Structure 1
């Protein structure tokens, strides 16, 4: 069973993603900020991370930088989520493989997630694709 780590400070977003992903057969681990996300990743290594850009305590950009600095997480695909547009998000953050602008539709999210998890594609250093 593939594991997805959802890091988002909005309880409703994390809860909905958890329910949908579990229904799709994924094991889901959640965290409410980047610091907790790093702890959860160390406890239960994820196959993919869904990461909110703007969070208290430790935001998405700092979390992604910490993940990429850690050898065991360098190859884990990251889907960055934000209410900001992608160009603005790219100004503060790099190293993610896909971007979803909030609010997004589950029908848009699932194919992106499945492509990244199933392909096991290598993670480019700071190139993002979507």
Structure 2
């Protein structure tokens, strides 16, 4: 894992197509002292990663236009510099389905979620990345 990913200064990347949900997640995490960056879909997030962004954690919605969470994760895993970044899946889908369980993740946050659940999922993933 690169030093940038381990750094507490590295941001959390929120990949969520719903602007209200994304903005709320960003605001809550920033209010807790985290540096945060948002992306509207997997393509925007992947472009940022390929441009050098190295977040300490990615909160990844699965159901998005342009590039969904499954496609995004597949692309991440093809690139060694990106594959080790921990990902927490964020979805209304059942975490036990075969398709959802097929994604390597440091955690799962089931929508709709309470803000304390978001903070707990982030703290767990940062403390014990998968």
Task: Provide the TM-score with structure 2 as the length reference.
Answer: 0.85
In the alignment, structure 1 segments of 5+ residues that lack a partner are 124-130
Partner of 1:96: helix, strand, or coil? coil
Contact 2:108 2:121 in 1 (8 A): no
After TM superposition, which residue ranges in structure 1, 4 or more long, deviate above 6 angstroms? none
2:35 to 24, 27, 36: 27
Runs of 5+ consecutive residues of structure 2 not aligned to the other structure: 1-8
Supply the distance in 1 between the matched residues of 2:81 and 2:67 (Cα, whole angstroms).
20
The equivalences for 1:1-130 within 5 A come to 1-43=9-51, 44-88=53-97, 90-92=98-100, 93-119=102-128, 121=129, 123=130
- Alpha-carbon RMSD across the aligned residues, in angstroms, is 1.4
Number of aligned residue pairs = 120
Render the CA deviation track for 1:54-102: whole Å, top value 9, x for unaligned: 00010000001111111111111101011111123x4154111211111
Deviations 1:4-49 (A, max 9, x none): 0000100011000000111111111111110001112233211000
Q: Which residue number corresponds to residue 128 of structure 1?
A: none
Mapped partners of 2:10, 2:33: distance in 1: 8
TM-score under structure 1 length normalisation: 0.85
Give me the whole-angstrom Cα distance separating, in 2, the residues matched to 1:26 and 1:40. Answer: 18
